[in-house]
Structure 1
Amino acid sequence: MKIFAYIYSDPLLEYSFDISTQNLDVDKLYHDMGERHQLETLLKDCQKNPPHYLGIRCLEELGDSWEEITKYWQQLTSLGILIILIESDDNREKLFKKKPLNIEINSSELQEKIQQNQYSLKLQKGQAINRIKALPPPGKAPYGYRRGKDRYIIDRSTSPVVKDFFEQFLLFGSLRGAVNYLEKRYGKKIAVSTGSRWLTNPVYRGDLAYQNNEIISDTHTPIISREEAAQIDRLLRRNRQLPSRTASAARSLAGLILCQNCQQPMTITQVTQRNKKETYLYIRPKNCPAKPQCKSIYYQDVLDKTIEYICQNFPQRVKNFNLNNLAIFKEEIQQKIQQKREIIEQINDLVTTEILDEQTAQIRQYKLKVEISQLRSKLEQLPPENLKNIADAVSLPRFWQDLSEAERRFYFREFIRQIQINQIDKNNWELEIIFIF
């Protein structure tokens, strides 16, 4: 039994040029990319010495139109060849068990189905062309932008609202607080979920993201800088690790404290005395299982000891953190980015000398740009370069005294993973901080 296989790949939709056929047990494989030259070769070979079976992935691969598909189908089947549907993991035993396609090629129902599929492919190709040209995806431009001829353009009437939203989040680290600020300042009402999407939307960083989750960097003017975007990502990662509703809590220590004795998170409780205006804040374990239960601790005492611990220990922690290795890692990534940029320039030269056609060059450049965006994302996830300067600032007690609770909350969550309290006895306790770095 002789088995041939034919695979057609559209470079706009399948721009991975490596087709996995190592498990496809056939006598001869014909593979076209873009043009159907191999299909013509297949037809000529079949006329000389036809195989028993021809494997294809789908009927649409035989042509770009219904007329082309029926022409090749009739020419192949008239030679007595049985056409079967294949998959990339088919072995010879599976292929022999497959039933040949028994279809009515002149069926109006089949024609309608094929034409619908081809229309869908046409739309996908159009979107793919826009993607490799780094054009904005279809649909309305995000708030703060408007659509230009070939890119997003900053809308000067709405972009200040978006910019102010990001600045509020960076200042206080609270998503709900930033959302409420927009409503009070500008009368702009947005849902918290909308604000969350704004914070992670690549468009505001000057990038484009497509449905396949691939990102192209520097396609238009950003509203926030790369440094601000990296800081937002760090805050979001930190907030996701905190208990619900503590990310925007009024108190800076909310969500950070754990009782070492009972291993329960500690909550902040406000207590008032009858007929008195003074309020007292205490920290106590939530649902403490110990008997007797762990005691409450005065909030201000914990806050004071936290600041004292940071001033004494954080600078040494940063000093022990190997900033040289971090710099070397950053340099390696930057070198890879530069190498890929140089390859993009070389591709332009290959097009000029007609070694590469325009479409193949655009697809290759697109893949390189996606890889550059992925490398830049790794850079942005690293600790800030001014970590030593931050350590010098936070080691001064005066620095903390000048901050509000919301501002302290921001700094605590930049570098504190957890605050652990060990209650030695009824009146004595110790504090230990686990830093992120």
Structure 2
Amino acid sequence: SREEAAQTDRQRQRRSPPRSAGTPQALAGLVRCGSCDQLLHLTVTRTRRQVYRYLRSPRCPQSPKCRAIAYDPALTQIIAAVCAALAPTMLPAVPRLQTRQQALRQQLQDRQALRPQLPLGLAQGFLDGETLTLRQQNLDREMATLQSQLAALPPFDPAGAIANLSQPAFWWGLSPAEQRTYLREFVAGVRWYTTGPVVDFHTP
């Protein structure tokens, strides 16, 4: 009967503990409780008919513990705050990705061109063997650092993306993993208070 099915659902819900989300979520690792200062984790509780997602602090030291926050409304408020902050007036302050890429690539190319020329210094008597080895090692370290910096650049141009990032529709067209990538480019962290989120942005 319908009543028996409802009772079964309630029993299943009581037996099923909240579970951490297994897929990358937009707010993972970004939000702290403004009261207890603990990092908030996403937990998911499932019933037959619905999925409930919350942000909660499993290590809250307060008694009673800080209340859990409904995840989806929290994400909506945080995205709204980000959209309001990423206005076109911020564009001059955001370094263009292309400029950074070009500068790093030029430095890398300069060192790559210099590397095969070093043995000429040994042949011509400008360098001894020990100095040659030392300079080669230094160049190799510098090139490795530049390659790491290039690899760490975001997969989009922050300055060119701000016009889209200030539109909520843009965010809701992204997957949670993509939302997470964009948020981390601009947002240093979020503190959640009873009045709502306070978003801290990276300093340009």
What is the TM-score normalised by the length of structure 1?
0.34
Q: Distance in 2 between matches of 1:270 and 1:364?
A: 55
* 1:348 matched to 2:114: no
Question: Could you say what secondary structure the match of 2:86 adopts?
Answer: helix
In 2 relative to 1, CA 249–339 (structure 1 residues): closer, same or farther, beyond 3 Å? closer
Question: Could you say what secondary structure the match of 2:146 adopts?
Answer: helix
Map of 1:277 onto structure 2: 49
In 2 relative to 1, CA 365–344 (structure 1 residues): closer, same or farther, beyond 3 Å? farther
Map of 1:367 onto structure 2: 137
**Relative contact order, CA 8 A, sep 6+: which one is greater?**
2
Map of 2:184 onto structure 1: 413
Map of 1:376 onto structure 2: 146
1:389-404 aligned at under 5 Å gives the runs: 389-404=160-175
* 1:299 matched to 2:71: yes
* 1:309 matched to 2:64: no
Residue 267 (structure 1) aligned to one of 38, 41, 53: 41
How many residue pairs were aligned? Answer: 180
Larger Rg: 1
Question: Could you say what secondary structure the match of 1:323 adopts?
Answer: coil
Map of 2:110 onto structure 1: 338
Question: Could you say what secondary structure the match of 1:355 adopts?
Answer: coil
Which amino acid is the alignment partner of residue 189 of structure 2?
A: Q
In 2 relative to 1, CA 430–372 (structure 1 residues): closer, same or farther, beyond 3 Å? same
Q: CA deviation at 1:259?
A: 0.7
What is the TM-score normalised by the length of structure 2?
0.64
In 2 relative to 1, CA 282–371 (structure 1 residues): closer, same or farther, beyond 3 Å? closer
Gaps of 5+ in 1: 1-244, 424-428
Q: Distance in 1 between matches of 2:133 and 2:83?
A: 53
Q: Distance in 2 between matches of 1:251 and 1:322?
A: 26
Gaps of 5+ in 2: 1-19
If each structure's helix is expressed as a fraction of its own residues, which one has the higher value?
2
Q: Distance in 2 between matches of 1:332 and 1:405?
A: 30
Map of 1:126 onto structure 2: none
* Root-mean-square deviation (Å): 4.1
Q: CA deviation at 1:284?
A: 2.6
Question: Could you say what secondary structure the match of 2:136 adopts?
Answer: helix
In 2 relative to 1, CA 303–357 (structure 1 residues): closer, same or farther, beyond 3 Å? closer
* 1:256 matched to 2:19: no
| Displacement over 6 Å in runs of 4+ | none
